[in-house]
Amino acid sequence: MPNHHYELAMPNDDPELRRLLRENPFAGSISLSLEREPNYFHASPIEGAFHETLVVRDSNTQQIVGIGDRSVRPLYVNGEIKEVGYFSGLRVDLKYQHGLALARFLGKGWEGQRQQHNDGRAKFYLMSIVSDNNPARRLLASKLPHYPRLHLHTHMLTYAIHPTHPKQESKIKITRAASDSIPSIVDCLHRNGLRRQFAPHWTEATLLSALTPGLSISNFFLAQSGSRVRGCLALWDQQACKQTVVRGYSGKMARYRKLINLFTPLPKPNTRLNQCFAAFLAVDDDDPEVFSALLRALYNEAARLRYDYFLLGLTKDNPFHSILKTYRPILYASDIYLAAWEDGFDEVARVDNRPSAPEIALL
């Protein structure tokens, strides 16, 4: 195995970083490459105000053969606002993706991440792993030297919904937000975030900022009682800096692709999806009628704008799954883990069992 070393990525590493994303998609029933054109670093603020990318280089050729992102942002934990980390963007060059070579290679990367972790910015981290990527899950949970310990937190279902013809409007009035709506939106997000684990914390200063490229106030749909926002949902298009490309299908998805296409069209391999997120979901008292009305309004807007899909992620304990299933979605399952080294074990153990709400548009 060649000699490798790790270091933080610099702006001139951008072309190689983007190449590694293109050439090394996520494995699973749907193989996806999550790309960052035209510049890898333009998408970094979405994951957190603090963000860094660690690269592993071949010490002989200086080529980047592995990358991993580390970010930190304020989330709700046990009803309080805490700085929580996120490990993401793990990519390894194809020639190191098997057996002992992969374990040793990742060990080098985790050695670097553990070193960076010593800055004390976060006690533990979120990680998302595709549910049917069994080799990756077994390896990352192997407790090898330098690896963080993983604790399974929850299961996440991502709904990819294909908007076609607009649907009849709901009886509940849904309005588009204006600039004077920001305080009420932030208040709605705050009081609903308090009762969820790992919901993002937003302020009037951060809601529409460098942390949310491509988002404007008019993207928000609101259900209101007077001046109080009792439910919100936003259409967020991040394609100017982040793209998803379908690279192929495997397993049951490949075998039944023709049948699935009769109900929900699946993109052809090597197709870049014209997609957006249904994000910033908050509904007082988990009112299903309010959620249905918000979802229908966003669906109609996505259909008007001719998106191929919009994505909405819910953890297994969310009450809205039955409503989303009526939209004939494509489902993408993943597992959310809490990752920590020794100094974070106690913090992970203190996370209580209230419902969880990580935001997939930030993951």
**Token pair recorded at residue 226:** 């007077």
Interval 251-273 mean pLDDT? 81
Is CATH 3.10.180.10 correct for 160-333? no
List CB contacts of 204: < 8 A, sequence separation 6 or more: 182, 183, 186
Kind plus residue range of the DSSP H or E element containing 282: strand 275-283
Kind plus residue range of the DSSP H or E element containing 361: none
Mean pLDDT of the chain: 93
- CATH for 4-156+335-362 is 3.40.630.30
Confidence bin at 99 (pLDDT 50/70/90): low
Q: C-alpha angle with apex 340: 338 to 343, nearest 5 degrees?
A: 140
Render pLDDT for 102-119 as a digit per residue (tens, 0 to 9).
Answer: 777 788 899 999 999 999
Q: Please answer whether residues 40 and 18 qualify as being in contact, where contact means their C-beta atoms are separated by less than 8 angstroms.
A: yes
Interval 73-81 mean pLDDT? 98
Residue 224, beta-bridge partner list:
229
Instruction: Name the segment(s) of the chain with CATH classification 3.40.630.30.
Output: 4-156+335-362, 160-333
**Token pair recorded at residue 153:** 């937190």
Query: For 184-270, where are the E strands, in sequence order?
Result: 220-225, 228-236, 243-249
The label of the residue with tokens 């009886």 reads 171
Give the number of other CB atoms < 10 A from CB of residue 80.
9
The pLDDT value given to residue 2 = 58
- This prediction has a pTM of 0.92
Residue 75 confidence (pLDDT) above 80: yes
Higher pLDDT, 96 or 285: 285
Confidence bin at 1 (pLDDT 50/70/90): very low
Q: Which residue pairs, CB below 8 angstroms and at least 24 apart, start in 286-290? A: 286/319, 286/320, 287/230, 287/231, 288/319, 288/320, 288/323, 289/170, 289/172, 290/172, 290/223, 290/230, 290/231
The percent of the chain in helix, strand and coil, each rounded to the nearest 5, is: 30, 35, 35
Nearest to 278 by CA among 299, 247, 248, 256: 299
